[in-house]
C-alpha cells in the first residue's frame, strides 16, 4: 500500500470512530457493519455476551434511457437478533467465509427478525456516502436477505452450519 493510501485509510478509520462516538454505543457493536462496508457480505460475532450480525441487501437502480445505474447496498446491523418468523424452504448452495467449499443448505424464503438495536446503513456508490439510520423492528427479509440473515443467525446460535457437501452431488449427462 502506498503512503498516500495509508493516509486515506487512516483518515477513513478516524471518521468511522467519530461516527461511532456520535451514536453513543459501545464500539464493538458496530464491527459486523464495518466489516460489511469494508469487505462485503454478511457477518456475525459474539462479543461481551452480545450477539451481533450484519445482513446486506443489494438494490440496483438503472435508468434505461441514460443507460446508467448504481447498486445501493443496504446493510442492517442487529444487536441480539431474535427470530420472529420464517416462511418457506429454499434449497441452495452457499459458501461460508469459514469454509472454502460450497455446500447445500436449506433456508427460509421469508424471514422476520427483531433486535435490541437495529441500525441501517445505506451505502450509495454514486454519492460515495454511507447513510446511517436507527430503525425500530421487526424487519422482514425476502430472498437473498432472508438467506443471509438465516445463515448468520445459525452461526450465532449453533456455530456450525448444517449442510450437505458438494461432493454428494451427481453429474448427469442429458440426452
Ligand atoms: Zn458463514
**pLDDT tens sequence across 118-168:** 999 999 999 999 999 999 999 999 999 999 999 999 999 997 888 999 999
What protein residues have CB closer than 5 angstroms to ion ligand 1? 96
Q: What long-range pairs does 58-63 form, CB within 8 A, spacing at least 24?
A: 58/144
Quote the ligand 1 centre to 159 CA distance (angstroms).
Answer: 9
Quote the ligand 1 centre to 152 CA distance (angstroms).
Answer: 6
Share in percent of the chain as helix, strand, coil (round to 5): 30, 40, 30
Quote the ligand 1 centre to 151 CA distance (angstroms).
Answer: 6
Which run of H or of E encompasses 35?
helix 31-39
Quote the ligand 1 centre to 98 CA distance (angstroms).
Answer: 6
Q: Which domains does the chain have, with CATH numbers?
A: 3-168 (3.90.45)
Quote the ligand 1 centre to 125 CA distance (angstroms).
Answer: 26
Q: pTM of the predicted model, to two decimals? A: 0.92
Quote the ligand 1 centre to 127 CA distance (angstroms).
Answer: 31
What does the pLDDT look like over 14-68, one tens digit per residue?
Answer: 999 999 999 988 889 999 999 999 999 999 999 989 999 999 999 999 999 999 9
Amino acid at each position: 500500500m502506498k503512503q498516500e493510501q495509508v493516509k486515506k485509510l487512516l483518515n477513513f478509520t478516524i471518521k468511522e470512530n467519530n461516527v461511532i462516538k456520535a451514536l453513543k454505543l459501545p464500539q464493538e457493536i458496530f464491527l459486523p457493519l464495518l466489516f460489511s462496508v469494508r469487505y462485503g457480505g454478511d457477518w456475525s460475532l459474539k462479543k461481551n455476551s452480545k450477539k451481533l450480525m450484519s445482513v446486506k441487501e443489494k438494490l440496483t437502480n438503472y435508468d434505461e434511457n441514460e443507460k446508467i445505474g448504481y447498486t445501493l447496498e443496504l446493510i442492517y446491523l442487529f444487536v441480539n437478533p431474535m427470530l420472529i418468523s420464517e416462511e418457506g424452504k429454499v434449497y441452495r448452495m452457499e459458501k461460508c467465509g469459514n469454509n472454502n467449499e460450497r455446500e447445500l443448505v436449506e433456508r427460509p424464503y421469508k424471514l422476520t427478525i427483531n433486535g435490541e438495536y437495529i441500525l441501517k446503513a445505506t451505502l450509495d456508490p454514486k454519492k460515495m456516502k454511507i447513510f446511517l439510520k436507527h430503525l425500530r423492528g421487526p424487519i422482514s427479509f425476502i430472498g437473498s436477505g432472508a438467506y443471509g440473515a438465516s445463515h448468520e443467525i445459525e452461526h450465532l446460535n449453533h456455530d456450525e452450519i448444517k449442510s450437505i457437501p458438494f461432493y454428494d452431488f451427481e453429474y448427469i449427462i442429458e440426452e
